[in-house]
Amino acid sequence: MSTSLSTPSGPRARTAPPEPPKSAPHTARRAGRKHAWATRAPLLPALVFLIAVTQLPFVATLVISLFDWNSLDPDERAFSGLSNYASLFTDAALRESVVTTVLLTAGVVVTCVVLGLLLALLLDRTFLGRGMVRTLLITPFLLVPVSAALLWKHALYNPEYGLLNGALTWAFGLFGAENPAQPDWISEMPLVAVAAALVWQWTPFMMLILLAGLQSRPAETTEAARLDGASAWQIFRYLTLPHLRRYLELGILLGSVYIVQNFDAVFTLTSGGLGTANLPYTIYQTFYQAHEYGLASAAGVVVVIGTIVVATFALRVVSSLFREEATRA
């Protein structure tokens, strides 16, 4: 008697695959967290140091800004809430310093961008001694800001032995004029004197950024435009300038962040007089001369918040620039 084995069919015959242990996802998450901590652990000392150096003093400044605190009368210190911030926006001297800061920053940044673009276009060409010229043009940016301001104050602006008045005397002497007027540059044009010193020091910064942009241009596009008969101005207007847009934005934003907080040139050249006191110098006066710790701290908090806003736009421009370069690569 023969028996035949039949293959079972139907729902009962299907065998479900073995289910993974319930602890597998938990184990995977735990391994992922361990890997994340392992990669971030070397950065923890730097993060702790950064918090201790920057964030804790800022929190202390924020707390002090809520107090009416004069160091000459420390026993009268009292909590005043937001009254210091209200005083900031109603203080005539502070409003004047804000206007001075805006004018100084805008004038210096625009001039530096224009001069930096011209110098970058010059250094983008091949000529004898280009390396030496590039090094000499970068030198002002490498100087200590106080040293640069002292150089302008004594070597250039001094009405008795300064280089500018010496050049004027020599130029007038060529035309037979004797004893020409020796202007006192700082007294007669103080804001222009401060701006000129800052332009001299920060133009190389703009030049380096724009030169990097020029050297990243695709050479094939420019060569094709030349073969099609485009003039030098047309190539600059329709090819070079659009390519430099991101670099121009980056230079303007970073230059604004740096120059808006400049203190050295104002302090060294004019000591904040003659209408040249910007926000950093006004905060210095409020803190060290008026001894108003609460009011100076409130002004510092406002300046930091404004700088963070500008820096945020700068970081966005930098990130978009990197994404654009990565896409081209």
Query: What pLDDT digit, counting tens, does each position of 263-314 carry?
Result: 889 999 998 888 888 888 888 887 777 778 888 888 888 878 877 777 777 6
What pTM, to 2 d.p., does this model score? 0.73
Q: State in Å, rounded, how far the first CA of the chain is from the last one.
A: 79
Distance CA(100)–CA(287), nearest Å, equals 19
Taking 3-state DSSP, the helix, strand and coil percentages for the chain, each rounded to the nearest 5, stand at 75, 0, 25
Residue with tokens 């391994």: 31
CB 276 within 8 A of CB 266: yes
Distance CA(194)–CA(269), nearest Å, equals 7
Distance CA(80)–CA(84), nearest Å, equals 7
Q: Return the top range by mean pLDDT from 79-88, 140-149, 168-177.
A: 140-149
Alpha carbon distances (Å) from 115 to 10, 42, 260: 84, 43, 19
| pLDDT for residue 329 | 57
The pLDDT tens digits of the residues spanning 50-78 come to 888 878 888 888 888 888 888 777 777 78
Q: Looking at the predicted structure, is the pLDDT value of residue 5 above 70?
A: no
Domains with residue ranges and CATH for the chain: 52-328 (1.10.3720.10)
